[in-house]
């Protein structure tokens, strides 16, 4: 498909796609996506505890942090955690206890050096070349990257780059990062 100028149209998603409607309708539960929700607080606390047990990070950057629930769970465990997301809405609606650790940003441009980078359910929302640039950026900013991405959810309208785990693993292997098969977080 081409735009009227003859230039290809974008197949990517935009920051505006991740607004209040998105957070009400695309997360698989009726529970509000916020730290006050017992469902989400329990879930992210469990995830953070498991990640800490396996990786024991001193500093974590959560790429595509949404409202910062994983960042908040890490902080509650004494881990120096920060996050960024493409959605201004997500950052503005984060819990007050964590909002100062969050910012609007692109996964393609990561600054600093981190003990661990987490990227949970993000890359499937990015067009393939942007996802590859994000992988480059994550690999340049840390020696450890924890990636989670759905291999089968094609029904979510913002999932434009769904890949099998082996395909993501191959992308990271090309950059010298290899999947741990002994751990299932």
Query: Residue 156 is part of a domain; what is its CATH number?
Result: 3.40.50.150
SS (H, E, C) the chain: CECCCCCECCCCCCHHHCCHHHHHHCCCCCCCCCCCCHHHHHHHHHHHHHHHHHHCCCEEEEECCCCCHHHHHHHHCCCEEEEEECCHHHHHCCCCCCHHHEEECCCCCCCCCECEEEEECCHHHCCHHHHHHHHHHHHHHECCEEEECCCCCCCCCCCCCCCCHHHHHHHHHCCCCCCCCCCCC
Q: Into how many domains does the chain fold?
A: 1
In a domain, 179, yes or no: no
In a domain, 157, yes or no: yes
Which residue range forms the structural domain that includes residue 49?
Answer: 15-173
In a domain, 3, yes or no: no
Which pLDDT value is given to residue 155?
Answer: 82
Which pLDDT value is given to residue 26?
Answer: 58
Which pLDDT value is given to residue 23?
Answer: 73
In a domain, 5, yes or no: no
In a domain, 8, yes or no: no
Which pLDDT value is given to residue 169?
Answer: 96
Structure confidence by residue, pLDDT tens digits, 121-147: 999 999 999 999 999 999 999 999 999
In a domain, 182, yes or no: no
pTM of the complete model: 0.88
Below-50 pLDDT ranges, the chain:
1-9
Which pLDDT value is given to residue 22?
Answer: 74
Which pLDDT value is given to residue 102?
Answer: 98
In a domain, 129, yes or no: yes
């Amino acid at each position: 498909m081409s735009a009227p100028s003859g230039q290809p149209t974008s197949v990517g998603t935009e920051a505006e796609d991740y607004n209040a409607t998105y957070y009400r309708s695309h997360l698989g539960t009726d529970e509000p996506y916020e730290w006050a929700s017992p469902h989400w607080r329990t879930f992210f606390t469990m995830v953070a505890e498991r990640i800490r047990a396996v990786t024991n990070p001193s500093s974590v950057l959560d790429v595509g942090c949404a409202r910062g629930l994983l960042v908040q769970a890490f902080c509650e465990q004494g881990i120096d955690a920060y996050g960024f997301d493409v959605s201004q809405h997500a950052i503005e609606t984060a819990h007050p206890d964590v909002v100062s650790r969050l910012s609007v940003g692109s996964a393609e441009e990561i600054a600093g050096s981190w003990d661990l980078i987490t990227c949970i359910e993000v890359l499937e929302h990015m067009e393939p070349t942007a996802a590859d640039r994000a992988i480059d950026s994550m690999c340049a900013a840390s020696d450890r990257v924890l990636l989670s991405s759905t291999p089968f959810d094609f029904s979510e309208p913002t999932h434009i780059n769904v890949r099998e785990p082996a395909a993501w693993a191959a992308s990271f292997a090309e950059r010298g990062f290899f999947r741990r098969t002994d751990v299932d977080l």
